Structure 1
Amino acid sequence: MLVVFIHGALNDHRVWAAQSRWFAQHGHEVMALDLPGHGVTAGPALDSVATMADWVLATLDTAGVTQAALVGHSMGALIALEAAAKAPQRVTHLALLGATYPMKVADALLETARSDEARAIDMVTKWSHSPGYANTEPLRQLMLTMAGKQLLHTDLAACNSYAGGDAAAALVACPTLFIFGANDVMTPPKSASHLSTSIANAHTITLTSGHALMTEQPEAVNANLLNFIFGAAVNSSDSR
């Protein structure tokens, strides 16, 4: 079964390095996407979650993929949710990391992303990690490689304006896993309670992490995704 990883705002496939490498090493097919304008995929960037979800499904069409498990982080979680609602027959499993709905972005961060992208990147870097977490520079450097094209503002505005979460949640037909970070100040677990309870057959897991779950807790993320997608029982005291 193919596992498709969808990144968040001003990120690209590299944020999934620990997951895509680990799954591939264990014999599973993976596809870590770069959304238009991000990483190696040519722009222009798309400006809505709905059009990004359409692009993901079209990319699967081009690759000849009829069914896949979708794993999304932050903005990528909204994209995965929307794609699962648009094409429920094509999505076997849905894993949403650092997800919430509505995903409102503070006006101050939106304006800073528009007028001073480097400062906004510093803000997002700080807020993406647990207090005291030392290895924050890789995420900052990744975002800086894509700076200068207003991508952060475009992505954050798309998250902020997305209004389809409730309708999408009602249409999700596959097993769904939410993975939250207990120290996440960008999408706190409690902010997603409405979304997580709106999807039938959903489980939730909370890890000791900030928003950047894939880098702060790579082994735990890998283990829980493997259990969820490939049939083992979800093993967490925080699961529902």
Structure 2
Amino acid sequence: MADAALIRRTAPDGTGFIRAGSGAPVLFIHGVGMNAAVWQPQIEMMKDRHDVVAIDMLGHGSSPLPPENAKLSDFADQAIALLDQLGLASVAVVGHSMGALVAQEIALRAPSRVSSIVCLNAVFRRPPAMAEAVRERAAALGGHGDPQAIAATIARWFGEPVPAGLTGAAGTARSALESVDAQGYARTYRLFARADTEHVDRLVGLAAPALFMTGSEDRNSTPAMSAAMARLAPNGQCLVLSGEKHMMTIASPEKVTHHIRAFLDGTTEVSVGTDPAFDATEFRRALGSFLTGVTIVTTIGTEGEPRGFTANSFTSVSLEPPLVLVCIAKKALGHQAFSTSRWFAINILSEAQKTESGIFASKASDKFAAVAWQSGQTGSPLIDGSVAVFDCDMEQLVDAGDHSILIGRVRDFTHNGAQPLGYCRGTYVTPGLSQEALAAAPQGTEVGAILENEGRVLFFETSDGFHELPAGRGLGTPQDARSLKGRLAAKGIGAQLGFLFAVWDDAADPSRSHVYYRGMVDAPASGDRQVRLVDIDRIAGLSIADPAVRSMLTRYVRERTEDAFGVYVGNEVEGEVRPLARPAPSAALQSGRR
């Protein structure tokens, strides 16, 4: 079969178009400066199941010019006339950028002609500064193939310089811009510059199922715009493709077309869970990044026997009435007992109860033989030594995928000042040396921090070209210029300290200690030339005077890559890395499967 892009046709009114394939009809409408041929990848990937029609908009390709003061209705009427010529009563419409505005106009003017609509990189209610910039570009349009204007457009769409992987896509866009009729381009762009508010009050009447898709890096057709349109459209959905820019239709055609086909082929909801790129293992790891407490949930079985399982899926729901919830997997051994019970209790564990947590996360036959407990008001077991307990009536059982949600109305509760047991990334977490205790440490203690911001670490560059981490005499206060907090405050740096990362003594002076934390930092003001944010993968190439700090940073880079941090204890010559905690006995702890 001949290349579909070369089978160009002309309608009686002069409209140029490409048609290929068979099946459910789809009309593609390009953006300003492009033409029907830019849909070549989509045509090739969809013609096996769709009758694909790609139109040259007025003023583009081989189509006639639009009126001097064109309206969206002029472009919509052109497309509807083509559908009439081709005998297509109803089609799905896919529009990109300006083409998305035309697609909306068709669906709003002739709803019976549109079965569904996909708006790619559409504009909607531009912010004032952005609107002014677009109007200025429209007013400054030059003659045919203006090299300066084309270069600026390519840079805006693809970056400057164009990344190596996008040179082909950029070349396709550049060829279209160089060949477009200058007058047609100018008239269309002037309309595009003012049409972003055309449908503000009309989208609520868009009856067709609508997908608004854009790229996360599209600065002119932003994710917020697509989300706003999807909220207004009665059957609207929003999808943002990570890392994509304005010309994602030709920069990542496979990805974009996959989502177009899924939507047009009857997918009723765009969901990350159905995306073939969705990684369930990584999803579980991401959920595990949430630092939680650990609980043992208990009840009494049908024969009066105590039942229980370990879970960290606990949260408060309401103060009035007092409601809490916890989740249990449907395949858990105790699911039947808990889903049919009228009562249950939630015991929040202390740092001293790791053993109890492990027992109730296991398949041990008599878990309660290893713990001291007593009955609460509801009869549910309350475990001694817990930081807090909530004795609950079953308020509601909610079906939620492969889990059930137990919502309890708290009848009685107790709590104390013990330190709770933490859980994160598959391990029990004990932060160790608290910042409060550190504040009272000897003044000679050096306290520093590895502060991260979006994959970069904060350093201070010295006058002789070395790099050092922020550190000071003691944790201190913002008013103490020699302390860590004081040094950060003096440079206007906002930081949040997290877990302890390393503690070591000077080999030459054992009375002098070094304590370093991990933490996060806001992007510092650019005025201070000593402050540097360095990409993590470039840390190895820095000049760092202190060999102990250099060694610590090498470990930091490695452990961050492995997502498994420990705490170094020793001196600058020798020591050991101790895990934050031992791994939990069972991966089932995450969702309470035991």
Alignment-derived partner of residue 82 in structure 1: 105
The alpha carbon displacement at 1:238 in A equals: 9.9
The one-letter amino acid of 1:202's match is G
Match of 2:53 among 16, 27, 31: 31
Alignment-derived partner of residue 26 in structure 2: 3
Q: For the residues of structure 2 that align with 1:238 and 1:76, how far apart are their CA atoms?
A: 29
Change (3 A) 1:168 1:63: farther
Alignment-derived partner of residue 118 in structure 1: 147
The one-letter amino acid of 1:122's match is A
Alignment-derived partner of residue 184 in structure 2: 151
Q: For the residues of structure 1 that align with 2:207 and 2:37, how far apart are their CA atoms?
A: 29
Which sits farther off after the overlay, 216-225 or 67-76? 216-225
Change (3 A) 1:40 1:23: same
Change (3 A) 1:137 1:238: farther
Check if 1:221 corresponds to 2:244: no
The alpha carbon displacement at 1:182 in A equals: 0.9
Aligned pairs for 1:1-240 (under 5 A) are: 1-24=24-47, 26-41=48-63, 43-46=64-67, 47-102=70-125, 104=131, 106-114=134-142, 117-129=146-158, 133=163, 134-135=166-167, 136-147=170-181, 149-162=182-195, 163-207=197-241, 208-232=243-267, 234-237=269-272
The alpha carbon displacement at 1:157 in A equals: 0.8
Q: For the residues of structure 1 that align with 2:221 and 2:139, how far apart are their CA atoms?
A: 19
Q: For the residues of structure 2 that align with 1:229 and 1:14, how far apart are their CA atoms?
A: 21
The alpha carbon displacement at 1:204 in A equals: 1.2
Change (3 A) 1:108 1:174: same
Q: For the residues of structure 2 that align with 1:161 and 1:68, how far apart are their CA atoms?
A: 27
- The SS at the match of 2:33 is coil
CA contact 1:112–1:119 (8 Å) conserved in 2: no
- The SS at the match of 1:150 is helix
Change (3 A) 1:238 1:33: farther
The alpha carbon displacement at 1:114 in A equals: 4.1
The alpha carbon displacement at 1:56 in A equals: 0.9
Q: Which runs of 5+ in 2 are unaligned?
A: 1-23, 275-594
The alpha carbon displacement at 1:115 in A equals: 6.2
The percentage of counterpart residues that share the same residue type is 25
- Post-superposition Cα deviations, 1:7-41, rounded to whole Å, max 9, x if no partner, equal 110111111110012111x2311000011221122
CA contact 1:176–1:203 (8 Å) conserved in 2: yes
CA contact 1:206–1:238 (8 Å) conserved in 2: no
Name the TM-score, length of structure 2 as normaliser: 0.38
Change (3 A) 1:130 1:10: same
Count of aligned pairs between the two proteins: 236
The one-letter amino acid of 1:198's match is L
Change (3 A) 1:61 1:109: same
The one-letter amino acid of 1:92's match is S
Q: For the residues of structure 2 that align with 1:150 and 1:130, how far apart are their CA atoms?
A: 27
Q: For the residues of structure 2 that align with 1:12 and 1:228, how far apart are their CA atoms?
A: 24
Which sits farther off after the overlay, 74-83 or 205-214? 205-214
- Post-superposition Cα deviations, 1:102-156, rounded to whole Å, max 9, x if no partner, equal 3545233113324684322222222122575332122111110115x23332122
Max Rg structure: 2
CA contact 1:128–1:186 (8 Å) conserved in 2: no
- The SS at the match of 1:92 is strand
The one-letter amino acid of 1:151's match is G
The one-letter amino acid of 2:153's match is V
Change (3 A) 1:98 1:130: farther
Which sits farther off after the overlay, 223-232 or 166-175? 166-175
The one-letter amino acid of 2:59's match is G
- Post-superposition Cα deviations, 1:52-87, rounded to whole Å, max 9, x if no partner, equal 112111211121110000000000000000100001
Name the TM-score, length of structure 1 as normaliser: 0.89
CA contact 2:122–2:226 (8 Å) conserved in 1: yes
Q: For the residues of structure 1 that align with 2:251 and 2:82, how far apart are their CA atoms?
A: 29
CA contact 2:28–2:94 (8 Å) conserved in 1: yes
The alpha carbon displacement at 1:169 in A equals: 0.9
The alpha carbon displacement at 1:161 in A equals: 2.4
Change (3 A) 1:130 1:29: farther
Structure with bigger strand share is 2
Q: For the residues of structure 2 that align with 1:169 and 1:235, how far apart are their CA atoms?
A: 20
Q: Which runs of 5+ in 1 are unaligned?
A: none
Q: For the residues of structure 2 that align with 1:96 and 1:219, how far apart are their CA atoms?
A: 17
Q: For the residues of structure 2 that align with 1:168 and 1:80, how far apart are their CA atoms?
A: 13
Greater relative contact order (Cα < 8 A, sep 6+): 1
CA contact 1:38–1:45 (8 Å) conserved in 2: no
The one-letter amino acid of 2:89's match is T
Q: For the residues of structure 2 that align with 1:95 and 1:20, how far apart are their CA atoms?
A: 15
The one-letter amino acid of 1:12's match is N
The one-letter amino acid of 1:224's match is H
- Post-superposition Cα deviations, 1:180-212, rounded to whole Å, max 9, x if no partner, equal 111112212123432221101111111121100
